[in-house]
Structure 1
Amino acid sequence: MELKIRLCVVLLSLGLALTGYVRAKEKPDDMEMDVENAVDDVQEDDEEQKPPPSLSAPTVTYKAPEPMGEHYFAQSFDKGTLQGWVLSQAKKDGIDEEIAKYDGNWEVEEMQDTKLPGDKGLVLKSRAKHHAISGLLLRPFVFETKSLIVQYEVNFQTGIDCGGAYVKLLSQTDDLNLEQFVDKTPYTIMFGPDKCGEDYKLHFIFRHKNPKTGELEEKHAKKPDADLRTYYTDKKTHLYTLVLNPDNTFEIMIDQAVVNSGNLLNDMTPPVNPPAEIEDPDDHKPEDWDERPKIQDPDAVKPEDWDEDAPAKIPDEDAVKPDGWLDDEPEYIGDPDAIKPEDWDEDMDGEWEAPQIPNPACESASGCGTWQRPMIDNPNYKGKWKPPMIDNPNYQGVWKPRKIPNPDFFEDLHPFRMTSFSAVGLELWSMSSDIFFDNFFITSDRSVADRWAADGWSLKKAAEGAAEPGLVSQMISAAEERPWLWIVYVLTVALPLVLFIVFCCTGKKSSASAAAEYKKTDTAQPDIKDDAEEEEKPEEEEAKDEEQEEKKSDEDSTGEESAENRQKEQHKSNEKSEDDILRRSPRNRKPRKD
């Protein structure tokens, strides 16, 4: 009972608090005045209430992550410059001169709504422009026996309409010039988020070199099964990681959680290795090849009683014209209130006629105009006769060209051994600005990459999480945008509150609690019966009880019962009790038969 009462009190307090907030929202002016007064009071007593320096809130200072262990590239931009990065001065081929130049603006700055002052990153600032920027690795990465881990952070500060935030690992070539970095610059891997419309992508593309021809072909990873929408719309900083292993396996992670994985040999499109056999391009289907599994029965004959001319619908001969049908009244008549327009020219517009309206005389009748029998399905209709279908005795199956060995076949069992790369580049077109990039890192050691992420992205995640509003604040914010949610909140709180008050706080004292009170004394107490049993006592039993009481009172009043009769009855009662005792005794039981 005490637990129920406490629960009722908690629900009541929650309802009152929610009601108080709603009333406060209805009077913002009064709240502002109260806040201003409170601020004045605090300022007046600032010296008295000021806590000692040791108790003041600590200041959070961001510290850029420092690379530890083996790595090939590390950039946090916290020095506030583009040192080590090269802006492209090239132009894109095949497009208009006005938009061909890579003149999109890049800046190093803090996020717009930063939770860590001092944390800076690379920001794409322009809309509808080509952007290209790149930086050299400390040394080229060679795909041999070590894994490749690429990770960096992205924050779509203003959302993303159409654009990418992926990186390219530029292939190591003799003519690599970062100032001429364009879309056609050779790359080994392209990795990262991309979005246009409602198509949310997370690219992993690598360029595979054909061992027979030397040509490069793009291989695309399968689409992740995870829903990527949140990462593009929540305006939070997310960590994108690609892991490639020498055994050809790969993992793609967002915020250190795997969203896609597979094998370079089995999970890329098109496949790394071509098929061993292909269809012969010179093989053609014979003219007499029969691919029809079913044909019309050539021996079937149309039955003599088959009537192909019978109509599908016929008038219902059993139908009867309803009573009150007005045959002489048309269903529509000219509007008697219509007036010919003054500018009506009969030579140009023809003879004027009033617009048609439903005939008022037909409103109370069952119908107007010439009555016609309704149409029904013709039971004798069969339609055009066609021979039944039978199995084709000459069926040869679906023809396919014969298989021949693929002249371009090769088998590369180690696609991990890609072209070495020596630079990282961002070559992007975006219809959204203020895309924030930070903490690029390339290494071959998983633990080193995790350490870099812990010192950088994990700190941002904790700061963003601490700044997020609580559940109640989120509910209130949602209700401010959608006022109808207040009704849901009130019903959610008020309905359980009323039910608990009715069923929990208004119950009668139980018989168990009454018995507990009686046990507190040693005096004799009356029998305790449940109220429900007293209420359910039948009326017949009450009548019997009254009758027995009347008989007892009559016997006591007459006094005619003799002492001898009482002794006989007492003797019989004693004998009956002795017989019961003997019957229950184990010695008088009959032996049980096996």
Structure 2
Amino acid sequence: MRLNLFSLATLLPTVFISSVSSKVFFKEDFTSDDSLKAWVKSEAKENIGAIELSSGDWYADKENSRGLKLAQDAHFYDYSAPLITPMSLKDNDLVLQFVVKYQQDIDCGGAYIKLLPPTADPKKFNGDSEYSIMFGPDVCGADSKIHAIINYNNTNNEMIKKPLARKDQLSHQYTLWIKKDKTYEIRVDNSILRNGTLADDWSMLPPKEIHDPKEVKPADWDDRKTIPDEKDVKPENYDDIPKKIVDPAASKPAEWDDDMDGDWEAPLIDNPEYKGEWKQKEIENPDYKGVWTAKLIPNPDYSEEGLLEQEIGFIGIDIWTVKSGTIFDNIILTNDFEEASEFGNKTWAAFVQTEIDVKDKLDKEEQEKREKEAAKAKAEAEAEAERKKGEDDKDAKVDDKDLELEDDLKPESNVESEKKEESAEKEESSEEEKSAEKEESSEEQSEEKEESSEEEESSESTEEEVSSDKEESSSASDGKDEL
């Protein structure tokens, strides 16, 4: 997401009153309840976020820590306020200093100040408005930098290499000091992060010196660092060594059919004797004079005319921030570094350690709170697990008892049924055996009866035969008697 830059709206001093000849052009510590009245809200956008006086969620001293707070999430902030008197940057030091507190643990948002011309219209102020200098921190995700943009020839020029901004939740003091000799210092918490010259660290000016275009390299200038060794001669027949040779280990496969597959050819391999294209050795050139360059002369196009000669009439905030809570405090614009340093020591440096101690205490309490909550949550989870385990065990016991009751209450449980089935099977088997025995006994008895019957029949037949014989004998006897 592309962010609009903050433009810290110029604070109209309400506590510090200065004459036109004063070296202080703007100074505000926000200790007055009327401090925000000087800030003019822009009408260039509809969703301009609200600002308020706040000391933040923690502070070293409630009154001294009070500053201008960005009070709404995901909003633009376009506010500006006039200087006590316009400031000319020509032949003047410029010292812009202020404190920023990212108390909300910033994820993405700037906190920089713009210096606007006296002709600026506060009601129309926005990200496209003209400004002379923009300075301050900008943080978005892992990207953390301090902007120091200077307008020159109607172009906004960034530093070539930007220093890093502070991303923690403490108050930090940012200082830009541009001196009239066009050198500069960027300080954070009174420590110098970067210093140098505007010409070297911004790409807004042409080089001060150039190589003389009229100068020509002498004809006898030898800039060859090495030369071929004339004593190194290519060996005879060197070029006759082939790069590839026939693989001597290769042989025609047994299944190769010359009629079907054509004439067999052994594959080629790299020749271990081949040493590549021959090149003559190089040796150091005894006549080497180094790389020739034309001598440097002053650049006739170099000019600092117009650089930092603007007039400043307003301080502005032109910012987009995702998460509200950023606090600006202790803003000063002056041409005297000692004035800014004294102001910073009084309003910020004197309270640094106290704020650190307060924040450390809060962090410790928060850590202890998190640890207690984590321990409580763990204990509750363990207790719940034990309770659930107890319920599961209880349910298991109840299930076992239910099964026992079912076994007692059912007329025929599965086990009894199985037993009865087994018993029935045994009885059936026994009955079958008995039946078989009976059948066998019956068959034996039948056979015996049949045998007895046969014997009886045989006896009867014998008896009949005997009787018949007797009758015949008797009849014969009777005949004899008749005769």
TM-score range, shorter chain: 0.5 to 0.7
In structure 2, which of residues 6, 26, 29 is the aligned counterpart of residue 76 of structure 1? 29
Distance in 2 between the 1:218 and 1:80 partners?
A: 34
The alpha-carbon deviation at position 403 of structure 1 amounts to 11
Q: Does 1:438 align with 2:329?
A: yes
| 183 and 77 in structure 1: CA distance in 2 versus 1, 3 angstrom threshold | same
Q: Which residue of 1 aligns with 2:78?
A: 132
Distance in 2 between the 1:127 and 1:473 partners?
A: 27
The alpha-carbon deviation at position 480 of structure 1 amounts to 5.5
Q: Does 1:270 align with 2:203?
A: yes
Check whether the contact 2:244–2:270 (CA below 8 A) recurs between aligned residues: no
| 306 and 160 in structure 1: CA distance in 2 versus 1, 3 angstrom threshold | same
| 380 and 248 in structure 1: CA distance in 2 versus 1, 3 angstrom threshold | closer
Distance in 1 between the 2:82 and 2:295 partners?
A: 48
| 269 and 246 in structure 1: CA distance in 2 versus 1, 3 angstrom threshold | closer
1:452-487: per-residue Cα shift (whole Å, max 9, x none)? 2233223442431342447x969x869959x9xxxx
- For the residue of structure 2 that corresponds to 1:72, the secondary structure is strand
Q: Does 1:251 align with 2:189?
A: no
- For the residue of structure 2 that corresponds to 1:310, the secondary structure is strand
Check whether the contact 1:221–1:268 (CA below 8 A) recurs between aligned residues: yes
Report the AA paired with residue 245 of structure 2: A
In structure 2, which of residues 76, 79, 87 is the aligned counterpart of residue 141 of structure 1? 87
Q: Which residue of 2 aligns with 1:186?
A: 130
The alpha-carbon deviation at position 391 of structure 1 amounts to 6.8
In structure 2, which of residues 163, 167, 192 is the aligned counterpart of residue 232 of structure 1? 167
| 401 and 217 in structure 1: CA distance in 2 versus 1, 3 angstrom threshold | farther
| 473 and 85 in structure 1: CA distance in 2 versus 1, 3 angstrom threshold | closer
Q: Does 1:220 align with 2:174?
A: no
The alpha-carbon deviation at position 218 of structure 1 amounts to 3.3
The alpha-carbon deviation at position 302 of structure 1 amounts to 5.5
| 405 and 186 in structure 1: CA distance in 2 versus 1, 3 angstrom threshold | farther
Q: Which residue of 2 aligns with 1:8?
A: none
Check whether the contact 1:150–1:443 (CA below 8 A) recurs between aligned residues: yes
1:138-181: per-residue Cα shift (whole Å, max 9, x none)? 111012444222111111112222321111101233xx211111
1:73-123: per-residue Cα shift (whole Å, max 9, x none)? 123334166311111111xxxxxxxxxx35231221324422233443222
The alpha-carbon deviation at position 133 of structure 1 amounts to 1.0
The alpha-carbon deviation at position 184 of structure 1 amounts to 2.0
| 261 and 314 in structure 1: CA distance in 2 versus 1, 3 angstrom threshold | farther
Q: Which residue of 2 aligns with 1:67?
A: 16
Q: Which residue of 2 aligns with 1:155?
A: 101
Check whether the contact 2:73–2:322 (CA below 8 A) recurs between aligned residues: yes
Q: How many residue pairs end up in the alignment?
A: 323
TM-score (norm 1): 0.45
Q: Which residue of 1 aligns with 2:348?
A: 457
| 197 and 389 in structure 1: CA distance in 2 versus 1, 3 angstrom threshold | farther
Q: Which residue of 2 aligns with 1:412?
A: 304
1:316-365: per-residue Cα shift (whole Å, max 9, x none)? xxxxxxxxxxxxxxxxxxxxxxxxxxxxxxxxxxxxxxxxxxxxxxxxxx
Q: For structure 1, list consecutive stretches of 5 or more residues without a partner in the other structure.
A: 1-63, 91-100, 209-214, 281-290, 316-377, 394-398, 484-594
Check whether the contact 2:234–2:280 (CA below 8 A) recurs between aligned residues: no
Report the AA paired with residue 326 of structure 2: I
Check whether the contact 2:114–2:317 (CA below 8 A) recurs between aligned residues: yes
Q: Which residue of 2 aligns with 1:349?
A: none
Query: Once superposed, what is the RMSD of the aligned Cα atoms?
Result: 4.7
1:32-91: per-residue Cα shift (whole Å, max 9, x none)? xxxxxxxxxxxxxxxxxxxxxxxxxxxxxxxx995376321123334166311111111x
Distance in 2 between the 1:241 and 1:451 partners?
A: 13
1:480-501: per-residue Cα shift (whole Å, max 9, x none)? 59x9xxxxxxxxxxxxxxxxxx
Q: Which residue of 2 aligns with 1:94?
A: none
Check whether the contact 2:116–2:130 (CA below 8 A) recurs between aligned residues: yes
Check whether the contact 1:122–1:436 (CA below 8 A) recurs between aligned residues: yes
The alpha-carbon deviation at position 135 of structure 1 amounts to 0.8
Q: Which residue of 1 aligns with 2:40?
A: 86
69-78 or 237-246: bigger deviation: 69-78
Distance in 2 between the 1:462 and 1:66 partners?
A: 25
Check whether the contact 1:80–1:120 (CA below 8 A) recurs between aligned residues: no
| 145 and 309 in structure 1: CA distance in 2 versus 1, 3 angstrom threshold | closer
Report the AA paired with residue 269 of structure 1: W
Distance in 2 between the 1:452 and 1:401 partners?
A: 51
- For the residue of structure 2 that corresponds to 1:105, the secondary structure is coil
- For the residue of structure 2 that corresponds to 1:82, the secondary structure is helix
Q: Which residue of 2 aligns with 1:4?
A: none
Check whether the contact 1:151–1:242 (CA below 8 A) recurs between aligned residues: yes
Q: Does 1:169 align with 2:123?
A: no
Distance in 2 between the 1:141 and 1:84 partners?
A: 18
The alpha-carbon deviation at position 194 of structure 1 amounts to 1.3
Report the AA paired with residue 201 of structure 2: M
Distance in 1 between the 2:80 and 2:182 partners?
A: 27
| Aligned counterparts, 1:121-520, within 5 A | 121-173=67-119, 176-208=120-152, 215-223=153-161, 228=164, 231-233=166-168, 235-265=169-199, 267-274=200-207, 277=210, 303=238, 306-310=241-245, 381-382=272-273, 385-388=276-279, 409-412=301-304, 415=307, 417-469=308-360
Q: Which residue of 2 aligns with 1:351?
A: none
The alpha-carbon deviation at position 242 of structure 1 amounts to 1.5
Distance in 2 between the 1:408 and 1:182 partners?
A: 38
Q: Does 1:107 align with 2:51?
A: yes
1:433-452: per-residue Cα shift (whole Å, max 9, x none)? 22111222112233332332
- For the residue of structure 2 that corresponds to 1:179, the secondary structure is helix
The alpha-carbon deviation at position 300 of structure 1 amounts to 8.0
- For the residue of structure 2 that corresponds to 1:455, the secondary structure is helix
Report the AA paired with residue 455 of structure 1: K
| 479 and 308 in structure 1: CA distance in 2 versus 1, 3 angstrom threshold | farther
Distance in 1 between the 2:194 and 2:369 partners?
A: 33
Q: Which residue of 2 aligns with 1:42?
A: none
| 381 and 65 in structure 1: CA distance in 2 versus 1, 3 angstrom threshold | farther
Distance in 1 between the 2:156 and 2:295 partners?
A: 27
The alpha-carbon deviation at position 277 of structure 1 amounts to 4.8
| 473 and 164 in structure 1: CA distance in 2 versus 1, 3 angstrom threshold | closer
Check whether the contact 2:111–2:137 (CA below 8 A) recurs between aligned residues: yes
TM-score (norm 2): 0.54
- Report which of the two structures shows the higher radius of gyration computed on alpha carbons: 2
Distance in 2 between the 1:404 and 1:66 partners?
A: 54
The alpha-carbon deviation at position 204 of structure 1 amounts to 1.5
Q: For structure 2, list consecutive stretches of 5 or more residues without a partner in the other structure.
A: 1-12, 214-223, 251-268, 286-290, 375-483
Distance in 2 between the 1:76 and 1:122 partners?
A: 9
The alpha-carbon deviation at position 131 of structure 1 amounts to 2.2
